[in-house]
Amino acid sequence: MPKITMREAISQALWEEMERDPKVFVLGEEVGVWGGTYAVTKGFYDHFGAERVRDTPIAEAAIIGAAIGAAMTGLRPVAELMTINFAFSAMDHIVNEAAKLHYMFAGQFVLPLVIRTVGGGGRQLGATHSQTPDAIFAHFPGLKVVAPGTPEDAKGLLKSAIRSDDPVLFIEHATMYQVRGEVPEGEYTIPIGQSKIQRPGKDVTIVAYSKGLELSMKAADQLAQEGVEAEIVDLRSLRPLDMGPVYESFKKTNRAVIVEEGWKSFGVGAEVAARIYEDCFDYLDAPIQRVAQKEVPLPYNRTLEQMALPQVEDVIKAVKEVL
């Protein structure tokens, strides 16, 4: 299998879907002439033209609102929000319109809409440009929230998102575009709503996704040298949240650590832990540990920023707590 970067994987998925279906088009800030601020749509404008690669004003409500309207007519827009921090300017359209219209109008029309966006800290962009608010969006019924951690998953899941008749928020991580991984040759898709064992083990279950997966894989390598075999379950989507593989793993290891980059309070770890407690209480051998970001607005200074973000050592420490 060829090894490609996360950026290439996402770009390929988008390109292939646009080639496959003329109803698919992209819109967003700097997606066209510029080629995308994270270069995901580089070359798209020249190939697909200005009608299908639409540069927009810096107006997030208009971007998402127009994408919703276009989706109502049967098109399949892929709207890019330059960062997830700007999604707050379009919050009303994401949660009050995209997540609700299909239900509120009793299924009269569908919203085959994808919002691609970039989250996460670690690039010294300061508090307003470095957030990981994934859990906020996962709160809303009607939305699907996907956050891949490998190039293979990114490509397969984005293709499914574009083909889905439900609105999907597709969150990429700002520091993971250069992550390389093997990707199957030729056409494939990965269904949304299926967690995956990314590394088998028997001693402890680590539940993670996106950047948390990267940290956990590194932690597991180090733990293996100390004789601890961690099993890593990658959620891949937060809504729907597939707990099946988590439970299966937990019933084997009886110990769990949940790793996310967002804040701990009311976060993904809170949700996953609550579900394990509810459904697997009899299998519990130790209190579940959560690894997450310190509860501060992310500072600019590199040292402070890294202090606030979860690190590989935090994952190792949490695993040792539950063993």
Task: Just list the catalytic residues.
Answer: 60, 129
Among 30, 88, 193, 317, binds another protein (CB under 8 A): 193
Question: 82-121: which residues touch another protein (CB under 8 A)?
Answer: 92-93, 96-97, 101-110
Residue with tokens 């066209």: 32
Number of residues that bind another protein (CB under 8 A): 46
CA–CA distance, 241 with 29 (Å, rounded to integer): 30
C-beta closer to another protein: residue 71 or 87: 71
d(C-alpha 60, C-alpha 10), whole Å: 22
Q: Which of 5, 30, 35, 61 binds another protein (CB under 8 A)?
A: 61
User: Which window, 33-41, 74-82, 126-134, 305-313, contacts another protein (CB under 8 A)?
Assistant: 74-82
CA triple 165-160-63, angle to 5 deg? 60
Q: Is 23 exposed, middle or buried (0-12, 13-18, 19+ CB in 10 A)?
A: middle
CA 62, chain centre distance (Å): 23
Residue placing its CB nearer to another protein in the complex, 141 or 186: 141
Decide: is 142 part of the binding site for another protein (CB under 8 A).
yes
For residue 274, state whether it binds another protein (rule: CB under 8 A).
no
Cα torsion 54, 149, 128, 101 to 10°: value is 60
Q: Cβ 60 to another protein, closest distance in Å?
A: 8
Question: Per CB under 8 A, does 34 bind another protein?
Answer: no
Q: Using the rule CB under 8 A, which residue among 144, 173, 211, 255 binds another protein?
A: 144
**25 touches another protein (CB under 8 A):** yes
CA–CA separation, 82 and 223 (whole Å):
36
